[in-house]
Amino acid sequence: MTRHLQGSLFDQTDEVGLGPLDGLRRTHLGSGAWIDLLPGWLSGADALFERLAAEVPWRAERREMYERVVDVPRLLAFYGAGDPLPDPLLTEARDALSAHYAEELGEPFTTAGLCHYRDGRDSVAWHGDRIGRGARQDTMVAILSVGAPRDLLLRPAGGGGRTVRRPLGHGDLIVMGGSCQRTWEHCIPKSTRAAGPRISVQFRPQGVR
Residues that bind ligand AKG (CB under 6 A): 113, 115, 124, 129, 143, 152, 186, 188, 200, 202
- CB of 13 or CB of 206, closer to ligand AKG: 206
* Least distance CB 20 / ligand AKG (angstroms): 22
Report how far residue 202's alpha carbon sits from residue 204's, in angstroms, rounded to the nearest whole number. 6
Closest separation in Å from C-beta 103 to ligand AKG: 25
Residue 80: CB minimum distance to ligand AKG, A: 15
Q: How far is the CB of 10 from ligand AKG (least distance, A)?
A: 20
Nearer to ligand AKG, 44 or 147 (CB): 147
Residues ≥6 apart with Cβ < 8 Å to 89: 16, 17, 18, 42, 48
Report the nearest approach of ligand AKG to the CB of residue 129 (Å): 6
Q: Using the minimum distance from each CB to ligand AKG, give the nearer residue, 102 or 131.
A: 131
Contact, 89 vs 18, CB < 8 A? yes
Other beta carbons less than 10 A from residue 175's beta carbon: 24
Cα–Cα distance measured from residue 77 to residue 35, given in angstroms and rounded to the nearest whole number: 24
Q: Of 182 and 186, which has the nearer Cβ to ligand AKG? A: 186
Neighbours of 109 (CB within 10 A): 24
Of all residues in the shown chain, the one whose CB is closest to ligand AKG is 200
Please report, for residues 7, 44, 96, 183, 188, the alpha-carbon distance to residue 89 in angstroms, rounded to integers and kept in the order given: 19, 11, 10, 32, 24
Q: What's the rounded Cα separation, in Å, for the pair 17 and 45? A: 8
- Residue 188 CB, shortest distance to ligand AKG, in Å, is 5
Helix or strand holding residue 166 (H, E): strand 164-168
The smaller minimum CB distance to ligand AKG, of residues 102 and 171, is found at 171
CB nearer to ligand AKG: pick between 89 and 176: 176
